[in-house]
Copies of this chain bind each other. A is one copy, B any other.
């Protein structure tokens, strides 16, 4: 057994204890009442960095939640890798569906359950543990590293965007590594070659000046909830087609190779989706292969509707105002600002004339396409092959990591998107988990990646 392997094996419990300590902090970045917890989680990460040997580590203040930054640049002549992750987490509702409390990390059947277990504290922690392992075994790191961990990934990421744009030279590097993605199964390592961008909006519909009683006003009153239903049904039909004029015109055609890969579905994503969702048929644009729909097509989803009476029982109110949270996932080259303008116009065109509509742009981020040919991607491919015994597949992921586009556009460096999540990790849902086997394989892979980058 190599010294690396021995160290990892002997320190499994400690690695998990350090992860649990971080997971216990409810760093929900979108909740003002959790502001102190978010700061606490940032400070915890700084402590971890210092403990593992990165003495130059601390917080960078921003307009929002702080950035965690650490650097170790004592490998002259070797490449510098910028490592990115995030320490904030999603809200926990509906909390009643959690089998164990979201901030009481619990191990069951080889998984650790907690909000943030996979997204993204677990994935960041495995990188830190890979660094610790290399320091402990070799007394040094094989390459230079800069570590940047943000606290607003689930809240729009404005602060890190402003920082990167303001100080690109401070983050100078040879490659950027984002550890926040998935692989299709524990036997199928993957490297991500594309991500979708996003716009997240709130559509606010105003009717009468006050809530009304449907007995007295039903038949003459505007109903903002009904108007929202009409707007939403006009924006996307039951077959998954989005009716935003101009949207599909701007979509780049995928390569012949990608189309063949999607069509053949060698990873059996069709069956995986059916099983993971517990449905008998998939939804959406049936004329496209499922993996293409989930990773490379624009999508529009409603995430919540607010307005009227939603308690137990019956109340015959016609609300004065109703709101819907609606996002679009945008394949690379659909620019978020441009699409928001098209979306806003489409919403206004879809609205019945008896209501007044506002469209709020809560946040946006760009998609990205990365080349599988870069040195860092090749090193990662070899590292995964060494740990998993099989070469990784190159995939697009349907989620949005706007920081990837920023690294690409502002730092002009190759981006590595390598993560160890699994499809059933319940991201953004109750019972989020992370596979312990994936966590430790991640430590091994990242340690190997750094060694290979030094060669």
Contacts and interface: CB of A to CB of B under 8 A. Distances in A.
Interface of A: 30-32, 90-91, 93-94, 97, 154-156, 182, 196, 198, 200, 207-223, 225-234, 236-238, 240, 273, 276-279, 281-285, 290, 293-295, 297, 299, 301-319, 325, 327, 329, 352-354, 362-363, 397-400, 423, 426-431
* Candidate in A215, A307, A313, A353 with the most chain B CB atoms within 10 angstroms: A215
Copies in the complex: 2
A441 to B, nearest CB: 20
A218 B240 CA distance: 10
B329 A225 contact: no
A394 to B, nearest CB: 17
A359 B259 CA distance: 41
B354 A279 contact: yes
Contacts of A222: 277, 279, 283
A240 B207 CA distance: 15
A293 B316 CA distance: 17
B282 A220 contact: yes
Contact of A273 (B31, B217, B234): B217
Given A215-B196, A327-B316, A302 B428 contact: no
B214 A299 contact: yes
A139 B247 CA distance: 80
Given A210-B429, A211-B428, A216-B399, A223 B301 contact: yes
A429 B317 contact: yes
A217 B237 CA distance: 17
Nearest to A362: B314
Contact of A325 (B219, B314, B353): B314
Contacts of A316: 198, 200, 301, 303, 327, 428
Contact of A279 (B97, B208, B302): B208
A314 B154 contact: yes
